[in-house]
Each structure stands twice: as C-alpha cells, then as structure tokens.
Chain A
Amino acid sequence: MSKVRVLVGTRKGAFVLTSDGKREKWEVSGPHFAGWEMYHVKGSPADPNRLYASQSSGWFGQIIQRSDDGGKTWHQPGTPPGESPAPGPPRAESNKFVYDTSDESGKPLTTHQWYDGTQHPWEFKRVWHLEPSLTDPDTVYAGVEDAALFRSTDGGQNWKELSGLRGHGTGPKWQPGAGGMCLHTIILDPGNPQRIYIAISAAGAFRTDDGGKTWKPINHGLHSQYIPDPHAEVGHCVHHVAMNPSRPGVLFMQKHWDVMRSNDAGDSWQEISGNLPTDFGFVIDVHAHEPETIYVVPIKSDSEHFVPDGKLRVYRSRTGGNEWEALTNGLPQSNCYVNVLRDAMAVDSLDKCGVYFGTSGGQVYASADAGDSWAPIVRDLPAVLSVEVQTLS
C-alpha cells in the first residue's frame, strides 16, 4: 500500500503529515524545531528516509538538520544526538556557509546591487531551498540568501560553494526582492547529471551544463517593467520554476508578474498567462503524469500579497498554459486573504496525482484528484513557507 508523506516548513517549526494512498485520513507530527523558521524540508529521491531541513533564526543564524528515519528523529549532520560532547575541533560544520573567495576559483564577485542601486557585499543569511541529489543520499544542494549555490557531498556535514555562478560576471546587477536576494529554485535534470537549473530573486534563471562549473543566464523572453531595461539579460524577479521529470527541457515559470514557458531548456521563454485573473503569484507546479497540466495560485498584485476577490483558487491548465480553469471545490470562496509562497506547492506521484499547497494562514490543502476537489489536512499551523511531498511504496 502506498503512503504519502508531506513535509511542511513554517515560520515556527516543521510538521510531517502522513497518510495512506487514499489521502483521506492524516496523521500530523510536529512541531519539529519549534519556534524556528523552517524554510524548507525535503527528502532524498535515492533514500526516502533521508530528509534535510533548513532551520534558521534571526538570532542564532542557520542550522541544517537531517533525519535518517523519515522524520522520526533529527540531528545536525556530524553531530549525532545522544553522543557525549567531547572537547576538540568539531568533526563537521554543517551550518558553515562561507562564500568562496579563493584564488583558485577566481575570487567571485563580492558585491551585488542593493535596494537603492548601490553596490553591497554578499552576506550569508539563510538557506531557502535544499535539493537532494537524484541518485546519492549524501549529496545535497543548498540555495541561499544572499544568492549562491552550495553543495554537500557528505550528507550535509560540510558545504562548498559552486562559485562559478557568482563568478558569472553579472553579479553587480543582481538585486534583492522584497524577501531578500535568495536562490530559491534548484532543478536537477534527471536525464543529464551535468545540467542544473536555478533561479534567483531578483536576478533570473540560470543553467549549467557542466555540473556547476559555469553558468549562463536563461532569461531571453522575460519582460520586467521594474528594471531599467525590461528585456535585460539579468535582473528579473523569477518567483519559481517547475519541471516534469519526463520532459526535462520544458520549464514553467511563475515570475513576479507573468507565467512563462520554455520548450528549449530555458534558452527562450513565451508568456502563457492567458485568461488568468492576475498573472502575479509565487507557486507553479506540474502534474506528475501529465506534463502539459500545470498549476498556479494567482495573487492579486505585488503590493497586495493575497488571493484576489477573497477567493482561494488554484488555476489549472491542461494545455500547457494560456487556457486556465479555476479550481474551487473545497477551497474558501469568501473572505479569504492568504498568500501561497514559492516553495509551498508540491505533487505526489500516485494515480490520481495528488496536489498539495500551504498558505500564509497556516492551512495545508490536499487534492487527491489532481485538483478537482480539495480538503484541508490541517487548518491552523503557523504561516507555511514550504511544502514537499514524498510518495512512499
């Protein structure tokens, strides 16, 4: 019997929601790491019991947590729980994210654009997104603020920057969005281990075809009125990018404004906003089995971060964009003013495909029929930052 495990990161802790394949009755465990901001929790595709979590705090900084038993117990990598602490140097520094300024890497750029247009040094703040390798449970990527990509190959014990991204040369034109200058999307190409896509607010999308050594901006076709050159190579506030693993060259993007699509691995983009009530939003995801079925949650505007008209509506396109239908069955259709953040939607791989999302109001909604109907798994969690799903056999 299949099982589903939903990993929820919130402003005040993490929660693990589990159900059988019917996805009707749910068990809720948590809060884990109560009181901490949990930006992201994600499981390894190569070992579903291996979970990584980003735990952070304005007071105490960044912590990386790992579970090797599906979320029952957690530890900081390199510092197992229950082991008597001993004097001496630590065996690992799982929360040490230090930007690479070595001669060997060419001393990547150390300033980016600040809100007022002046240059500002890179300062590590937190990990927004953890993306475990598709094949190795001990390899995991971290997208951080200020924007950079790190990789661990020892289960999260030590981290090294893939500095070719910041060394690309456009760094002084990158700038923070309202949430900070974050690298929030990491997509690993299942057919080509050398190819990785990432996205940064507000710089845009980038791709490497050599395992992270060199990167190219992939923003041709994006149009952003809030930068001096609306068609610039970088500077676009990309909110999220999604891909169906069966078609790695086809990408879907929710930008600050505009929903976009690329059929050529990001080399060019076309707008597919079509009949959406507003094309501002944060999340976008793709059906697990139908690569032309995509989901977004339109948000009213960049100055009013809640759903329009007081109605929580997921929009689904079965045609790869442009033609969208509102999905409302089971979702509040009056007096609702929540937001759905960029990493807070995910799909399972059961048949029918399950779709999940979490809101700034603390609700986690699930659909076991590809979006036709919805029900809340939980209603009153802290504000949800991220939702990931594991389909377990």
Chain B
Amino acid sequence: MIRVILPQHLRTLAHAGSELTLEVEGPVTQRSVLDALEARYPMLRGTIRDHVTQQRRPFLRFFACEEDLSHEPPDAPLPDAVASGKEPLLIIGAIAGG
C-alpha cells in the first residue's frame, strides 16, 4: 500500500481526501506510483506530468522521507519507507508567486 499526499487543488479535482492509498504492482518508482494514481484518478492526467512527454510539470516537486526526489529518474526506486507504506510520497506545489 503506497501513501500519496496531493496538493489541495488536486485533491479537489480528484474528489479525494488529504492522503490517498494506492496498490502498486512491481517496483515502486515515481513512474509506477503516478501510473497507479492516474489510473485510479483519470482527472489528474496532465496535471502532474505532461500528457505526451510524461515529464514532471515544472512547478511541482516530489518529496519523501525529508528528501527532494524531484530530480531522481522516474524509474529509480522510491525509498523503502515509501514502498512499505511507512512514509507518504508528497506531491508539492512549488512556492512561487507568493
């Protein structure tokens, strides 16, 4: 069970609460978690990563276990604590524009 915390505007779009739980098959990576997230909440497609390039949108960041994972490769394993469900993956809106 993977835990994901979304920024408020995406919670509203997904009609979801502050923390989501997802089942992810196979290796737990940014890509596999986002694939599972978008499969369950298709209204979030395009809001976190680009529809075509699958690149992270520039004003979003990925944090977990007090680390910034935004620039890690999308297929790199996420920390064990995220894979085990002990810690959530945080999707954060960059603090830009006040």
**Complexed CA–CA distance, A85 and B20 (Å):** 13
Q: Are A93 and B7 in contact (CB under 8 A)?
A: no
Q: How large is the interface on A (under 10, 10 to 19, 20 to 34, 35 or more residues)?
A: 20 to 34
Enumerate A80-102 residues with CB–CB distance to B below 8 Å: 81-82, 85-93, 95-96, 98
Q: Are A59 and B59 in contact (CB under 8 A)?
A: yes
Q: Are A61 and B47 in contact (CB under 8 A)?
A: yes
- What 1/0 flags go to B45-60 for Cβ under 8 Å of A? 1111001100001011
Asked if A35 meets B46 with Cβ closer than 8 Å, knowing A60-B57, A87-B40, the reply is: no
Residues of A within 8 A of B13 (CB): 60, 63, 76
Chain-A contact segment, one of B26-34, B68-76, B89-97: B89-97
**Complexed CA–CA distance, A367 and B9 (Å):** 36
Q: Are B42 and A62 in contact (CB under 8 A)?
A: no
Closest partner residue, chain B, to A99 (CB atom): B52
Enumerate A34-84 residues with CB–CB distance to B below 8 Å: 35-36, 57-63, 76, 78-79, 81-82
Residues of A within 8 A of B94 (CB): 59
Q: Are B9 and A95 in contact (CB under 8 A)?
A: no
Asked if A59 meets B7 with Cβ closer than 8 Å, knowing A93-B51, A96-B46, A98-B51, the reply is: yes
Q: Are B10 and A60 in contact (CB under 8 A)?
A: yes
Q: Are A85 and B47 in contact (CB under 8 A)?
A: no
Q: Are B46 and A93 in contact (CB under 8 A)?
A: yes
Closest partner residue, chain B, to A55 (CB atom): B13
Q: B39 contacts the other chain (Cβ, under 8 Å)? A: yes
A314: shortest Cβ distance to chain B, in Å?
32
Please pick, from A57, A96, A98, the residue contacting B45 in the complex, using a CB distance under 8 A.
A96
Q: How many residues of B contact A (CB 8 A)?
A: 26
**Complexed CA–CA distance, A98 and B39 (Å):** 20
Asked if A63 meets B47 with Cβ closer than 8 Å, knowing A87-B40, A98-B52, the reply is: yes
What's the A-B contact tally at a CB cutoff of 8 Å? 64
Q: Are A79 and B43 in contact (CB under 8 A)?
A: yes
Q: Are A76 and B43 in contact (CB under 8 A)?
A: yes
Residues of B within 8 A of A63 (CB): 13, 47
**Complexed CA–CA distance, A58 and B10 (Å):** 13
Please pick, from A62, A82, A88, the residue contacting B46 in the complex, using a CB distance under 8 A.
A62
Residues of B within 8 A of A58 (CB): 59, 96-97
Q: Are B39 and A95 in contact (CB under 8 A)?
A: no
Q: Are A36 and B45 in contact (CB under 8 A)?
A: no
**Complexed CA–CA distance, A85 and B15 (Å):** 10
Q: Are B46 and A85 in contact (CB under 8 A)?
A: no
Q: B63 contacts the other chain (Cβ, under 8 Å)? A: no
**Complexed CA–CA distance, A114 and B40 (Å):** 39
Residues of A within 8 A of B52 (CB): 98
**Complexed CA–CA distance, A81 and B16 (Å):** 11
Closest partner residue, chain A, to B39 (CB atom): A87
Q: Are A85 and B42 in contact (CB under 8 A)?
A: yes
Q: Are B41 and A85 in contact (CB under 8 A)?
A: yes
Residues of B within 8 A of A98 (CB): 51-52
Please pick, from B36, B39, B46, B97, the residue contacting A61 in the complex, using a CB distance under 8 A.
B46
**Complexed CA–CA distance, A95 and B93 (Å):** 19
Residues of B within 8 A of A87 (CB): 36, 39-40
A residues at B contact (CB < 8 Å): 35-36, 57-63, 76, 78-79, 81-82, 85-93, 95-96, 98
For this complex, 27 residue pairs linking A to B, each with C-beta atoms less than 8 Å apart, are A35-B9, A57-B9, A58-B59, A58-B96, A58-B97, A59-B7, A59-B57, A59-B60, A59-B93, A59-B94, A60-B7, A60-B9, A60-B10, A60-B13, A60-B93, A61-B47, A63-B13, A76-B43, A81-B15, A85-B42, A87-B40, A88-B39, A89-B42, A90-B45, A91-B42, A93-B42, A93-B51
With contacts A36-B9, A57-B9, A58-B59 known, what are 11 further pairs, Cβ within 8 A? A60-B93, A63-B13, A78-B42, A87-B36, A90-B38, A90-B45, A91-B42, A93-B42, A95-B47, A95-B51, A96-B51
Closest 10 pairs (CB-CB, A-B): A90-B42, A60-B47, A59-B59, A79-B43, A59-B93, A95-B46, A87-B39, A96-B51, A76-B43, A85-B40
